[in-house]
Chains A and B, each alone.
Chain A
Amino acid sequence: MSEYQLKFKSFGNTAILIEWPQKIAKEILEDIRIFSDRINRNDIKEIQEVNFVYASLLIIYDNNLISFKDIKHKLQLLYDEDNFAMQRHHTLWEIPVCYDEEFGIDLDFLSTEKKLSMDEIISLHSGTIYTIYGIGFLPGFLYLGGLDKDLYMPRRDTPRLEVPKGAIAIGGNQTGIYPQSTPGGWHILGKTPVSLFNARNEKPCFATPGDKIKFRPISRAEFEVIRIAEDTEVYELKKELYD
């Protein structure tokens, strides 16, 4: 490993923040993902929690068991270890999305602004494989990278007071799914009938940072079918392996 020069910063007295070069880049995320997996696999007793987003990794440790200096040393050694056969596959999740204008209330506006037909917008949005750079902002909110440049669109001047749960939206150079209804300033393209976050599950969000997702356009009728399946907890998200 040792591909990058890491910065280890103490963050309060029970956390350590490890910074990679501060860029949004797949290679960096991949390096962090592999390192995070290695930390988890090593089951280091002093470490209580590991979380990463974009180019930073947070580690919460028990400062009764280990000092900042020692945990830093331990982690640097772990990062420097030679690493074989770690080219792991990614999980690619398929999120069904209904881009019907009933849900995609800003499709018309985007079409005018971007000088693209609605169908072109939908095919650009659903034709991309997105990378999950982290989960935060709201429980189950995925930071997705990979939006096609032709779909970049500044946020609305005035946020809507309520964006419904499941809304698929674009804000700036990002796209995302609202895991719960909340105020929001992004442009809404459609809606997924699937819940992204369920606090009753042992793993409440289906995805893990580093996974991939794609959107599959569905009809209004299929939306209803999946919604019913979801409500009765018989729907399972499709996933496959992706290199």
Chain B
Amino acid sequence: MIKVLKAGIYTTIQDLGRFGYRNQGVPVSGSMDSISAGFANALLNNNTSDALIEITLAGPKLLFTELTNIVLTGAEMSPLLNDEPIQNYRVYKVVDGDILSFGELKRGLRSYLAVHGGLDSEIVLNSKSFYEDITSKYCLKKNDVVSYKSGVKDIENHESNIKIMSQFYETDNLEVFKGPDFELFSTSEQERILSGSYTVSKDNNRMGYQLEEISVLHTKSIITSPVLPGTIQLTPAGKLIVLLKDAQTTGGYPRVLQLTEKSISILAQKNIGDKLYFDLIPMDD
């Protein structure tokens, strides 16, 4: 098992998310950066749906008590295995007594720690993803333990792919589709929404990111309607709110844009003060 010696800022267990319960008001949840989470599972030959640990901003200190392989992807947080620096995107073998800790956050915001075979934790409504009042925990705390099945595989490290895996989020441009309420706005308002440069505000978490700038002030209201992870709402005060994995399932602000799945992953690696731009991509029809 993994024993939590220090919790870090916000450390959770995530998988692909909780599907099929939207009509009960249950958020989807799941890894914020599903691309990095996918790389982590892939590097260990795990299933895509295997649960792993999502680490935010500052890492935890974790004690392993059984033999396994681990890999870290996503944000670079100066990881240390028994006080020796290790690298993201490389598979390591750990044994009983090994301690994983983290140092300075160098790049990105969310790091993913996968173990061989995935984490063996509580399943609620077909998912292991933490969410308050759904799972018994909403984040990992000191002294918590998480199980996994002991075992290792011979895995080669493919250095050649590291660049692809580590650089996909090194962009400030987010691909967006028009949202269902985009046409409520005039052409010049649409233009202003799309051409603005935006900054991640301090109000950013797994539910959503509010952007700093005032985009377009308006008095348009919609009747409460479904929203998705990646939906960008425009409040009457002109603020854009990007809904993310733990967002509620319905909303009442106009849905002006919709991020692609890739852009959700990119945004999940952005921190307060980071700049963002939108690239409109055509709808498939």
A17, A50, A137: the one contacting B25 at CB < 8 Å is A137
Interface residues on chain B, number (Cβ under 8 Å): 35
User: Once the chains bind, are B19 and A53 in contact (CB under 8 Å)?
Assistant: no
User: Once the chains bind, are A49 and B22 in contact (CB under 8 Å)?
Assistant: yes
* Residue interface bits B212-250, CB-to-A below 8 A is 1, else 0: 000000000011111010110000000000000000111
Q: A55-B223, A139-B133 are in contact. Are A67 and B284 (CB under 8 A)?
A: yes
User: Once the chains bind, are B250 and A136 in contact (CB under 8 Å)?
Assistant: yes
User: Once the chains bind, are B19 and A54 in contact (CB under 8 Å)?
Assistant: no
The answer, yes or no, to whether B177 is at the interface (CB within 8 Å) is: yes
Most buried by A among B19, B223, B231, B255: B223
Q: A11-B180, A11-B258, A141-B25 are in contact. Are A17 and B124 (CB under 8 A)?
A: no
User: Once the chains bind, are B19 and A12 in contact (CB under 8 Å)?
Assistant: no
User: Once the chains bind, are A136 and B25 in contact (CB under 8 Å)?
Assistant: yes
* Residues of A close to B22: CB separation below 8 A: 49, 51, 58, 60
Q: A67-B285, A68-B283, A197-B24 are in contact. Are A13 and B177 (CB under 8 A)?
A: yes
Complex: A197 Cα to B21 Cα, angstroms: 12
The answer, yes or no, to whether A117 is at the interface (CB within 8 Å) is: no
The answer, yes or no, to whether A112 is at the interface (CB within 8 Å) is: no
The answer, yes or no, to whether A193 is at the interface (CB within 8 Å) is: no
* Residues of A close to B222: CB separation below 8 A: 22
Within 8 A of A (CB), among B23-76: 23-27
* Residues of B close to A91: CB separation below 8 A: none
- B132 CB, nearest partner CB in chain A, Å: 8
Q: A15-B228, A58-B226, A199-B125 are in contact. Are A135 and B180 (CB under 8 A)?
A: no
Residues of B within 8 A of A (CB): 19-27, 124-125, 133-135, 177, 179-180, 222-226, 228, 230-231, 248-250, 255, 258-260, 283-285
A10-B284, A12-B228 given; 7 more Cβ-contact pairs under 8 Å: A13-B177, A17-B226, A60-B22, A139-B21, A139-B24, A139-B27, A209-B23
